[in-house]
């Protein structure tokens, strides 16, 4: 069964995305995967979540193709959870959530983490959307257009 068949009639991409990865634990697992965490025990230790909830979320993320199970990179008998290309495509979303939180949820001098570009050692610039001419896009500059599927031959 395709992922689209799991969400019949749902035409909103945001709603479909939330159906796949819309809960706190799933986002935190993905965040940790971007931070290099790969093993069940590491996820559990870092997140402090119950084993059954973690197992359920990891299974769902794997079934949806966000993570995949791979042999342990150190050659041991363990398995690891790694982001797939589909999972890696969530990077911009995770960074956007992080930057929104940094801007709106911390007091001016309150301690928090920040995302640093490895090569330069500098904070990652704020994400912004631009139109075809490179101008900043604001919400009022966009509309949602329903797309009609085209017949495939």
For 88-129, write each residue's pLDDT tens digit.
999 999 999 999 999 999 999 999 999 999 999 999 999 999
Which helix (H) or strand (E) segment holds residue 82: the answer is: strand 79-83
Give the residue, 6 or 61, on which the prediction is more confident: 61
What pLDDT, on a 0 to 100 scale, did the predictor assign at position 11? 83
pLDDT bin (cut points 50, 70, 90) of residue 152 is: low
What pLDDT, on a 0 to 100 scale, did the predictor assign at position 33? 98
Determine the structural domain holding residue 24 and report its residue range: 1-84
Helix (H, G, I), strand (E, B) or coil at 42: helix
User: Is there a domain that residue 96 lies in?
Assistant: yes
CB 54 within 8 A of CB 25: yes
User: Is there a domain that residue 47 lies in?
Assistant: yes
Segment 11-30 mean pLDDT = 93
Residues 70 and 117 grouped into a single domain:
no
Read off the tokens for 52: 């059954």
Task: Report the alpha-carbon distance of residue 46 to residue 32 in Å, rounded.
Answer: 8
Residues 73 and 122 grouped into a single domain:
no
Read off the tokens for 33: 């995967």
- For residue 67, the cross-strand partners are 83
Residues 34 and 103 grouped into a single domain:
no
């Amino acid at each position: 069964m395709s992922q689209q068949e799991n969400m019949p009639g749902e035409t909103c991409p945001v709603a479909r995305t939330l159906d796949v990865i819309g809960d706190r634990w799933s986002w935190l697992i993905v965040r940790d995967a971007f931070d290099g965490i790969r093993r069940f025990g590491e996820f559990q230790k870092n997140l402090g979540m119950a084993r059954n909830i973690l197992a359920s979320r990891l299974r769902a993320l794997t079934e949806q193709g966000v993570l995949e199970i791979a042999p342990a990179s150190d050659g041991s008998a363990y398995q690891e959870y790694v982001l797939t290309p589909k999972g890696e495509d969530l990077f911009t979303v995770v960074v956007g959530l992080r930057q929104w939180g940094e801007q709106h949820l911390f007091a001016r001098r309150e301690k928090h983490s920040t995302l640093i570009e490895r090569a330069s050692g500098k904070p990652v610039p704020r994400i912004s959307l631009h139109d075809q001419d490179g101008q900043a896009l604001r919400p009022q500059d966009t509309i949602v257009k329903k797309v009609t599927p085209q017949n495939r031959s």
